């Protein structure tokens, strides 16, 4: 038995070491270059803004998600499944596309300001802290809603039936069933969103509104691209790593189940509310659906007319983005599969560390470290796309690993001994057992990796010139140049390609598994 597992046991730790080196070497370069660097008042202002906007974004996203998730948990209506699906779309939506959509609604020439001017009221500005928070709420409200909804659905049906038999009203149901769940779930939800917002770049570079509204990641970008102050950039990257690491550790510790105990896996919705509570549910669902759908519809509305007259840089950038996305998805999915299969057979700390460590960092921090490592030997611009692929692999790997690990454990438990008894190993085992049984999660994970890589605007902003620019960077440049129609058309292509890649991988996996 041991001899049959030896190739896998050797491959997975070696891959884990390579992945750890991919993350730790840039971090070490950041630490070495940033040691002894003193940060100025503007840098500490960026730290304060990063933390404050992340705290506000997490708080608003979490609190606003509670009534939406509650309404979805206790209401059944036509279109409910479509609305839940819509809640999952922003996770795959490139942040730069979300910004384009929000500008179409809340921007200087957006729908809201046009309506305000028409009735004689002064226009509002989306730029600054409130604009950044608004964009983060748009991107993270659906994520918070889905996570809190899972908490509501985890309440055993037996508890709900018991509450009904005891004659619990809405107040008693909330006190004894809903509040214990929320008390356990909300801290983890808020901290997950906090980590995401701390590493936000595309939103802040577009909506930040000046030096007073700059985050650590934006300060890193400015230090590398405009000032070429690598020491300051390294110091900021180290600070970003510490802040993000503390938030990620807190999220990992506090994210836990509500602890209601086991049920019989029966599905039972909470009692449907009546009166004014029913109206509140309707208002929450309607407003959330409009908040999510209107910016996406605005991108479609503004982008369609300009598709026939796209800037010359858009199509080559789209091709580079697809190449980066496909390559990143292939490497990340292969690496995650190797690690998950090895962990299912024999858990090892080095594998868990390699699959978890990237969560504590960000694309710009890794990009800064790689810039420092490459710069003495070669022009970083010449390696823009390979470096972008490597960083995307490192950042998407934890998601894919967590998707595959439960499935590989079940596969090993159900079929491992049978496959060993039949001497099914190597490529034969992969072809006849692993790939058919894991096709569905592999397709889903590869789709997520491709969509995330397609919309990434992080490390490419540090390295790329005009000939290396990907589509998110082109969209950001067009937005910064106030070419809103061209930016909307490019954004429409970007979001179409992102969802098309996700659909192709996901549908392909489901088709193979069928």
Determine the pLDDT at residue 258.
46
Name which residue leads in pLDDT, 298 or 164: 298
Q: Is the pLDDT of residue 326 over 90?
A: yes
In percent, how much of the chain has pLDDT > 90? 8
Determine the pLDDT at residue 469.
85
In this prediction, residues 403-420 reach a mean pLDDT of 74
Determine the pLDDT at residue 251.
64
Instruction: Name the band, by pLDDT with cuts 50, 70 and 90, for residue 320.
Output: very high
- In terms of average pLDDT, the best of 42-46, 209-213, 358-362 is 42-46
**Distance between CA 57 and CA 11 in Å, rounded?**
42
Of the listed ranges 98-112, 174-188, 311-325, 385-399, the one predicted with least confidence: 174-188
Q: Against a cut of 0.85, is the pTM above it?
A: no
Q: What is the DSSP string of 136-174?
A: HHHHHHHHHHHHHHHHHHTS-HHHHHHHHHTT--HHHHI
Task: Give whole-number Cα distances, 493 to 44, 195, 319, 471, 498, in Å.
Answer: 38, 29, 11, 9, 9
Determine the pLDDT at residue 403.
81
In percent, how much of the chain has pLDDT > 70? 82
Instruction: Name the band, by pLDDT with cuts 50, 70 and 90, for residue 352.
Output: confident
Closest listed residue to residue 366, CA positions, set 39, 30, 18? 30
Instruction: Name the band, by pLDDT with cuts 50, 70 and 90, for residue 168.
Output: low
Tokens of 380: 């970083």
Name which residue leads in pLDDT, 115 or 512: 115
Q: Are 98 and 293 in contact (CB under 8 A)?
A: no
DSSP letter for 121, please. Answer: P
Number of other CB atoms surrounding residue 3 within 10 Å:
7
Determine the pLDDT at residue 272.
63
Determine the pLDDT at residue 41.
81
DSSP letter for 55, please. Answer: H
**Distance between CA 509 and CA 141 in Å, rounded?**
28
Tokens of 335: 């690496």
Determine the pLDDT at residue 513.
67
The region that residue 482 occupies, defined by phi over 0 for left and psi between -120 and 50 for alpha, beta otherwise, is left
Instruction: Name the band, by pLDDT with cuts 50, 70 and 90, for residue 161.
Output: low
Q: Are 194 and 55 in contact (CB under 8 A)?
A: yes
- In terms of average pLDDT, the best of 196-210, 327-341, 398-412, 413-427 is 327-341
Name which residue leads in pLDDT, 193 or 241: 193
Q: Is the pLDDT of residue 24 over 60?
A: yes
CATH numbers and ranges of domains, the chain: 1-36+306-514 (1.10.3720.10), 40-214+254-303 (1.10.3720.10)
**Distance between CA 424 and CA 404 in Å, rounded?**
21
Segment 468-486, tens digit of pLDDT: 888 888 888 888 777 878 8
Q: Are 220 and 237 in contact (CB under 8 A)?
A: yes
Strands (E), 201-253: none
Tokens of 504: 């192709």
Cα atoms in the Cβ-side hemisphere of radius 13 Å centred on 335: 29
In this prediction, residues 199-225 reach a mean pLDDT of 78
Determine the pLDDT at residue 323.
94
**Distance between CA 27 and CA 240 in Å, rounded?**
11
Determine the pLDDT at residue 160.
64
Q: Which residue, chain included where needed, has tokens 């948990």?
A: 73
Q: Is the pLDDT of residue 230 over 70?
A: yes
Q: Is the pLDDT of residue 265 over 80?
A: no
Q: Are 504 and 465 in contact (CB under 8 A)?
A: no
CB-based burial label for 453 (10 Å; 0-12, 13-18, 19+) = buried
Instruction: Name the average pLDDT for the chain.
Output: 79
Instruction: Name the band, by pLDDT with cuts 50, 70 and 90, for residue 188.
Output: confident
Q: Is the pLDDT of residue 152 over 70?
A: yes
Segment 87-141, tens digit of pLDDT: 767 667 888 888 888 888 888 888 888 888 888 888 888 888 888 999 999 989 9
């Amino acid at each position: 038995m041991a001899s049959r597992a030896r190739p896998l046991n050797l491959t997975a730790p070696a891959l884990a070491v390579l992945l750890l080196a991919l993350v730790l070497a840039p971090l070490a370069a950041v630490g070495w270059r940033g040691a002894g660097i003193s940060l100025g008042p503007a840098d500490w202002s960026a730290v304060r803004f990063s933390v404050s906007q992340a705290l506000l974004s997490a708080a608003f996203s979490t609190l606003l998600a509670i009534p939406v998730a509650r309404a979805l948990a206790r209401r059944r209506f036509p279109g409910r499944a479509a609305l839940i699906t819509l809640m999952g779309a922003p996770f795959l939506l490139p942040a730069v596309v979300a910004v384009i959509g929000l500008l179409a609604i809340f921007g200087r020439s957006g729908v809201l300001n046009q309506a305000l001017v028409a009735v004689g009221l002064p226009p509002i500005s989306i730029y600054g802290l409130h604009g950044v928070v608004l964009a983060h709420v748009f991107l993270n409200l659906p994520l918070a809603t889905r996570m809190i909804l899972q908490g509501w659905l985890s309440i055993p049906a037996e508890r709900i039936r018991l509450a009904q038999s005891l004659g619990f009203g809405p107040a008693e149901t909330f006190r004894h069933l809903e509040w214990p769940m929320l008390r356990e779930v909300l801290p983890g939800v808020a901290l997950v969103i906090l980590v995401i917002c701390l590493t936000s770049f595309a939103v802040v570079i577009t909506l930040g509104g000046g030096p007073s509204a700059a985050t650590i990641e934006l300060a890193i970008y400015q230090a590398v691209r405009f000032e070429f102050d690598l020491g300051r950039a390294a110091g900021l990257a180290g600070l970003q790593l510490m802040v993000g690491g503390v938030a990620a550790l807190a999220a990992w510790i506090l994210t836990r189940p509500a602890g209601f105990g086991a049920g019989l896996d029966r599905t039972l919705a909470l009692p449907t509310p009546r009166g004014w509570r029913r109206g509140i549910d309707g208002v929450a669902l309607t407003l959330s659906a409009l908040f999510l759908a209107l910016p996406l519809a605005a991108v479609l509305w503004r982008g369609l007319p300009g598709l026939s007259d796209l800037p010359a840089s858009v199509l080559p950038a789209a091709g580079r983005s697809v190449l980066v996305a496909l390559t990143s998805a292939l490497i990340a999915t292969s690496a995650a599969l190797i690690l998950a299969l090895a962990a299912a057979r024999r858990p090892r700390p080095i594998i868990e560390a390699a699959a978890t460590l990237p969560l504590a960092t960000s694309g710009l921090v890794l990009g800064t470290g790689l810039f420092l490592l490459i710069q003495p030997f070669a022009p970083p611009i010449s390696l823009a796309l390979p470096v972008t692929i490597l960083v995307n692999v490192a950042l998407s790997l934890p998601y894919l690993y967590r998707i595959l690990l439960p499935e590989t454990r079940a596969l090993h438990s159900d079929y491992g001994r049978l496959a060993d008894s039949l001497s099914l190993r190597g490529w034969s085992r992969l072809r006849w057992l692993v790939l058919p049984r894991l096709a569905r999660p592999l397709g889903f994970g590869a789709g997520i990796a491709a969509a995330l890589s397609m919309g990434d605007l992080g490390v490419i902003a540090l390295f790329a010139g005009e000939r290396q620019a990907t589509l998110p960077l082109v969209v950001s440049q067009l937005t910064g140049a106030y070419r809103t129609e061209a930016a909307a058309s490019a954004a429409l292509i970007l979001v179409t390609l992102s969802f098309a890649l996700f659909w192709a991988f996901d549908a392909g996996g489901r088709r193979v598994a069928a």
